[in-house]
Amino acid sequence: MGAVTASGLPQPSEYQLEIDQVSLAFGGNQALDSVSFGVPAGSVFGIVGPNGAGKTSLLNCVNGFYRPQSGRILFEGTPITGMRPYEIARRGVGRTFQNVELFQDATTLDNIMLGRHLHMRSSVFASAIHWGRGRREEARHRLAVERVIKFLEIEHLRKRAVANLPWGMQKLVEIGRALSTEPRLLLLDEPTSGMNREEKEDVARAIVRMKREMGITQVLIEHDMRFVSDLCDHVVVLDFGRQIAYGTPAEISRDERVIEAYLGRGLQKATS
């Protein structure tokens, strides 16, 4: 990905994901206004801001749900602006959503298995009747799903219908489905919304392990500032579609624009 130093390491200025002057509007509503930042490979990156700040709209631009009117989005040095969501997913960008998007009557295993369809090559007919290559391919993908289930430590949930799981476990299943696509970049839209403290700790452990053991770059939207401060390497702050700050959690906590805009002194306490 781009130039390297004499030691073979990437230049410090390089980013796995680059947002370059991205603007998005819906009619007269400016959802994003010339937003620019970079996400280093292997990092956990936070996007924060009040409701309506443009956070989810930005993720929707990254994974192809929205197409910005201007600006560029690059993943590993390649422009992906305007690509379809499935094309971006095949390049290695996974996604979870603010509201759980799972098949409630299906089991944990079957929901996570859906993420493997991105990599399946056999015809639907061959897979359905378990003949030849379709049967061998399904076995290979099922093994990959079992590894994800083991990684997330949810083996006890594998045959349970998602509808019967607590909210926090459903969120983990959704992360599991995204992981099964084998992403190099994972977009997490409010991964701990509606969770109790114990459930948040489960998600936090998963995020740390995805970074340390899998090397997955993660971009997350989150309102819990202590969660952001504990996990994120860098943070960008949006307000009414505009980028008002960028830096480490400690730097953000001292930014007067951020404090005065909407975070208040609570962020300083969370990072002290």
Domain 1-92+185-272 top-level CATH class: alpha beta
Amino acid 121: pLDDT: 62
| Full DSSP string of 54-81 | SHHHHHHHHTTSS--SEEEEEETTEE-T
Residue with tokens 């944990």: 108
Residue type, 125: F
Q: Mean pLDDT score of the chain, rounded to an integer? A: 85
β pairing state of 242-247 and 29-39: unpaired
Give the domain ranges of the chain.
Answer: 1-92+185-272, 103-182
**What is the helix (H) or strand (E) element at residue 177, kind and residue range?**
helix 167-179
Amino acid 128: pLDDT: 52
Amino acid 125: pLDDT: 46
Question: 73-82, 188-197, 229-238, 260-269: lowest mean pLDDT where?
Answer: 260-269
Q: Report pTM.
A: 0.84
The pLDDT tens digits of the residues spanning 76-86 come to 999 999 899 99
Q: Enumerate helices (H) and strands (E) in the chain, giving the number of each.
A: 11, 10
